[in-house]
């Protein structure tokens, strides 16, 4: 394989196997050779790279191999008439290409690679004997080779590789393009990282862009002295901010569906669920005769089964949510209050520092345990799709973080009932939280990577004895292998790394919204922070981590609901703050003021819940094209279908007559 061909075929998957001892090289039936042979058999292009500590197999696939895999997977793809149909390699012309010209999106390609790699089974009549490092084991008939090798710790990892050309292009046009402020090449991000990450960055960009309005408002508020009108301006700011947030969340939904329409992803909400509810997938190859039979006999049983299933699921979800909420209130709340109280009581700074250290340590442990328990809990819920499962988890874990982040502020606000103290606490938290978080999330992966490199070098040095100078990592694939993977800090098995990024955004949103009246300038802080966040997150993804596994997601899921919840919360908290502000005597009896604030609160709540009726979630053009697509298939082959159905019916009729 020469250099020219390597440039043409981009290797997208890396497989890590241990380096062999050189003395065994000449023996047959070696694991690696079998593996390479099998990879080549399924049509993959293979390249072996010798790393310093391990050996790497880089895999690429010609279009046809991918196409055949896609057809085997019954992948549904958008066709030129705007409808999603099962992919067939023979009819490749019918399918729409991606905006960047390739046939498959990165997510589909990864799916196909996965199918190809884990689809290798022993098709011969007898088990094969494989050898590795002198040990022998049997590859049974029908067993998956890669899984077997993984269980024997021979295949250490299968991970997606960065595409160096695209990566450098993105680095230039996206991560280092600071002057664009909030503009990002979303389409390129989509084709390199897949939907979920692209949607996160689109959201982040829009959120930051919208943030400029309240930030400007807040700065004006800070700079201009309104004199006696000061007390009137604050409620105005509050109303403006709430309206801003309500409109933002609705317009984000519109933008989201417009993005999906641009990327030609269909998202018939609620239509593609239910298939797997009872574990019976509707095979696409069932003939109408079978369908009719099933439909006739099982209908009532099926309905009952579905109903039982649904209510049981509801009950379990309710139980789990109740458990989580109760444990947060009974366990976490006292702990947080105790910390806030102790911090208030203790005089010496050293003790405060020690206390905070202990607190941080315990809270880390607490959230980790909470996350583990949540993962266990949602296993008992029968959520219909993986997306719903992930959402359910996000809600539970966000509950933990919500308490952790805000209860201290609430405590201070209630204890002191003084706007200035509250403002101080907010500034502390915002600065500490955002700056520290940004530093941590960017330095931690780098430190991890450096440590791993150091360990590998060290091991090598010890093996070789005293080496000559520093060992260089020559192969790019080995460097990538040593980079940490993009996963959530709460636990690797939980979610992808977007969990942390979204969490950060949501906590920031809650912080600035819920105490908007106490500290308007927070919006300006956040706007600046988010501008840097866009670029640092981009850098992080492009340079610090392995290329993330592409995940299919059509929206930001649970996080949008959490944002909506925070808006509602912030209407209530801000009203409370306003009451405290105007109520200097400390008793609640300011009849006209209190009544006005209450009325305002109710009006804002009404607007919050009524606004979605005015502006639909989907732009009209998206809805129209969706409507066209939905009916086109039926219209195009209506007659043929009818003939086959009525043919079947006639057969049934004759059977009954007999």
Question: How many other β-carbons are positioned within 10 Å of the β-carbon of residue 590?
Answer: 15
**C-alpha to C-alpha distance for 546 and 485, rounded to whole angstroms:** 5
Rounded least distance, CB 347 to its own copies, Å: 33
**C-alpha to C-alpha distance for 242 and 233, rounded to whole angstroms:** 14
Binding segment for its own copies (CB under 8 A), chosen from 129-137, 207-215, 283-291, 534-542, is: 283-291
Residue 91 or 492: the one with the smaller Cβ distance to its own copies is 91
- Residue 646 engages its own copies in binding (rule: CB under 8 A): yes
- Residue 318 engages its own copies in binding (rule: CB under 8 A): yes
Question: And the tokens for 525?
Answer: 């802080």
Strand (E) or helix (H) holding 260: helix 230-262
**What is the maximal distance between C-alpha atoms in the chain?**
96
3-class DSSP string for 37-65 = HHHHHCCCEEEEEECCCEEEEEEECCHHH
**What length does the chain have?**
658
Residue 69 or 211: the one with the smaller Cβ distance to its own copies is 69
Rounded least distance, CB 618 to its own copies, Å: 7
Binding-residue pattern over the window 75 to 114 for its own copies, x denoting contact by CB under 8 A: ----xxxxxxxx-x--xxxx--------------------
Rounded least distance, CB 392 to its own copies, Å: 11
Q: Which of 346, 357, 447, 641 binds its own copies (CB under 8 A)?
A: 641
**C-alpha to C-alpha distance for 316 and 288, rounded to whole angstroms:** 37
Residue 6 or 618: the one with the smaller Cβ distance to its own copies is 618
Considering only CA atoms, which of 71, 80, 100, 244 is closest in space to residue 163?
A: 100
Q: Which of 43, 185, 288, 491 binds its own copies (CB under 8 A)?
A: 288
List the interface residues with its own copies, window 217-276 (CB under 8 A): 268, 270-275
Specify which residues 48 forms β-bridges with.
57
Residue with tokens 């008793």: 587
Q: Which of 134, 635, 654, 658 binds its own copies (CB under 8 A)?
A: 635
- Residue 621 engages its own copies in binding (rule: CB under 8 A): yes
- 3 state DSSP class of 377: helix
Residue 238 or 523: the one with the smaller Cβ distance to its own copies is 238
List the interface residues with its own copies, window 23-82 (CB under 8 A): 79-82
Residue 152 or 650: the one with the smaller Cβ distance to its own copies is 650
Contacts of 566 (CB under 8 A, 6+ apart): 506, 509, 510, 513, 514
Rounded least distance, CB 402 to its own copies, Å: 15
Rounded least distance, CB 236 to its own copies, Å: 21
Residue 135 or 275: the one with the smaller Cβ distance to its own copies is 275
- Residue 618 engages its own copies in binding (rule: CB under 8 A): yes
Residue 125 or 589: the one with the smaller Cβ distance to its own copies is 589
- Residue 656 engages its own copies in binding (rule: CB under 8 A): no
Binding-residue pattern over the window 550 to 569 for its own copies, x denoting contact by CB under 8 A: -----------x------x-
Q: Which of 50, 229, 232, 295 binds its own copies (CB under 8 A)?
A: 295
Beta strands 13-18; 157-160: pairing state = antiparallel
Binding-residue pattern over the window 573 to 592 for its own copies, x denoting contact by CB under 8 A: --------------xxx-x-
Q: Which of 46, 292, 419, 552 binds its own copies (CB under 8 A)?
A: 292
Binding segment for its own copies (CB under 8 A), chosen from 286-294, 408-416, 474-482, 496-504, is: 286-294
Q: What angle separates helix 106-118 from helix 186-193, to the nearest 10 degrees? A: 0
Binding segment for its own copies (CB under 8 A), chosen from 11-19, 24-32, 169-177, 647-655, is: 647-655
Residue with tokens 């023996």: 27
**Number of chain positions touching its own copies (CB under 8 A):** 86
Residue 108 or 501: the one with the smaller Cβ distance to its own copies is 108
State the Cα torsion 537-543-549-550 to the nearest 10°: 60
**C-alpha to C-alpha distance for 117 and 129, rounded to whole angstroms:** 20
List the interface residues with its own copies, window 491-550 (CB under 8 A): none
**C-alpha to C-alpha distance for 488 and 496, rounded to whole angstroms:** 5
- Residue 444 engages its own copies in binding (rule: CB under 8 A): no
**C-alpha to C-alpha distance for 85 and 611, rounded to whole angstroms:** 36
**C-alpha to C-alpha distance for 584 and 373, rounded to whole angstroms:** 45
**C-alpha to C-alpha distance for 5 and 10, rounded to whole angstroms:** 9
- Asked whether 514 and 573 are in contact (CB, 8 A), the reply is yes
Binding segment for its own copies (CB under 8 A), chosen from 52-60, 228-236, 445-453, 640-648, is: 640-648
- Residue 631 engages its own copies in binding (rule: CB under 8 A): yes
The dihedrals phi and psi of 45, each to the nearest 5 degrees, come to -90, 130
Q: Which of 331, 362, 447, 645 binds its own copies (CB under 8 A)?
A: 645
Q: Which of 1, 63, 314, 354 binds its own copies (CB under 8 A)?
A: 314
Specify which residues 76 forms β-bridges with.
86
Rounded least distance, CB 375 to its own copies, Å: 21
Q: Residue 495 class from Cβ within 10 Å (0-12 exposed, 13-18 middle, 19+ buried)?
A: buried
- Residue 312 engages its own copies in binding (rule: CB under 8 A): no
To 5 degrees, how large is the angle CA 271–CA 274–CA 276?
Answer: 130
Checking phi first, is residue 74 left (phi over 0); if not, alpha (psi -120 to 50) or beta?
left
- Residue 338 engages its own copies in binding (rule: CB under 8 A): no
**C-alpha to C-alpha distance for 255 and 556, rounded to whole angstroms:** 12
């Amino acid at each position: 394989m020469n250099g020219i061909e390597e440039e043409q075929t981009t290797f997208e998957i890396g497989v890590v196997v241990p380096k062999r001892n050189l003395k065994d090289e000449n023996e047959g039936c070696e694991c690696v050779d079998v593996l390479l042979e099998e990879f080549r058999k399924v049509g993959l292009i293979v390249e072996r790279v010798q790393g310093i500590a391990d050996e790497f197999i880089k895999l690429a696939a010609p279009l046809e191999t991918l196409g055949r895999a896609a057809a085997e997977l019954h992948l549904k793809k958008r066709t030129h008439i705007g409808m999603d149909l099962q992919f067939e390699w023979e009819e490749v012309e019918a399918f729409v290409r991606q905006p960047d010209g390739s046939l498959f999106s990165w997510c589909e390609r990864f799916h196909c690679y996965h199918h190809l790699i884990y689809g290798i089974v022993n098709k011969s009549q007898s088990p094969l004997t494989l050898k590795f490092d002198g040990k022998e084991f049997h590859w049974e008939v029908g067993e998956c080779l890669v899984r077997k090798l993984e269980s024997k710790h021979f295949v250490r990892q299968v991970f997606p590789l960065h595409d160096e050309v695209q990566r450098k292009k993105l680095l230039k046009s996206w991560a280092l393009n600071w002057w664009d402020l909030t503009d990002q090449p979303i389409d390129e991000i989509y084709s390199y990282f897949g939907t979920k990450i692209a949607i996160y960055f689109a959201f982040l960009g829009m959120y930051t862009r919208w943030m400029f309005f309240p930030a400007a408002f807040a700065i004006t508020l800070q700079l201009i002295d309104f004199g006696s009108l000061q007390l009137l301006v604050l409620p105005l700011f509050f109303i403006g901010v709430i309206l801003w947030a309500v409109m933002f969340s609705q317009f984000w939904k519109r933008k989201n569906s417009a993005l999906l329409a641009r990327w030609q992803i269909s998202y018939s909400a609620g239509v593609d669920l239910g298939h797997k509810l009872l574990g019976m997938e509707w095979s696409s190859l069932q003939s109408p005769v079978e369908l009719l039979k099933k439909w006739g006999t099982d209908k009532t049983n099926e309905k009952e089964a579905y109903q039982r299933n649904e209510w049981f699921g509801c009950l379990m979800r309710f139980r789990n949510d109740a458990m989580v909420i109760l444990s947060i209130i009974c366990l976490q709340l006292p702990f947080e209050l105790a910390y806030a109280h102790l911090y208030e009581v203790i005089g010496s700074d050293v003790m405060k520092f020690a206390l905070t250290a202990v607190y941080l340590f315990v809270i880390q442990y607490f959230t980790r345990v909470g996350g583990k328990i949540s993962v266990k809990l949602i296993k008992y819920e029968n959520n219909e799709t993986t997306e719903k499962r992930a959402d359910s988890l996000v809600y539970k874990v966000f509950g933990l973080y919500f308490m952790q982040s805000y209860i201290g502020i609430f405590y201070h606000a209630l204890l002191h009932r003084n706007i200035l103290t509250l403002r101080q606490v907010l500034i502390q938290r915002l600065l500490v939280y955002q700056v520290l978080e940004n530093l941590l999330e960017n330095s931690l992966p780098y430190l991890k990577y450096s440590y791993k490199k150091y360990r590998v070098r060290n091991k090598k040095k010890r093996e070789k004895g005293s080496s000559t100078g520093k060992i260089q990592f020559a192969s790019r694939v080995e460097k990538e292998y040593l980079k940490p993977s993009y996963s959530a800090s709460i636990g690797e098995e939980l979610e992808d790394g977007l969990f942390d990024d979204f969490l950060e955004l949501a906590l920031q949103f809650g912080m600035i919204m819920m105490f908007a009246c106490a500290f308007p300038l927070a919006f300006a802080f956040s706007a600046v922070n988010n501008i840097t966040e866009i670029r640092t997150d981009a850098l992080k993804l492009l340079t610090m981590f392995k290329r993330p596994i592409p995940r299919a997601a059509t929206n930001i899921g649970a996080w949008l609901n959490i944002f909506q919840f925070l808006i509602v919360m912030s209407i209530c908290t801000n009203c409370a703050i306003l009451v405290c502000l105007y109520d200097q005597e400390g008793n609640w009896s300011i009849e006209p003021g209190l009544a006005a604030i209450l009325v305002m609160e109710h009006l804002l709540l009404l607007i919050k819940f009524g606004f979605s009726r005015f502006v639909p979630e989907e732009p009209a053009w998206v809805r129209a094209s969706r409507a066209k697509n939905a009916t086109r298939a039926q219209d195009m082959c209506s007659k043929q279908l009818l003939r086959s159905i009525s043919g079947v019916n006639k057969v049934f009729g004759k059977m009954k007559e007999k």
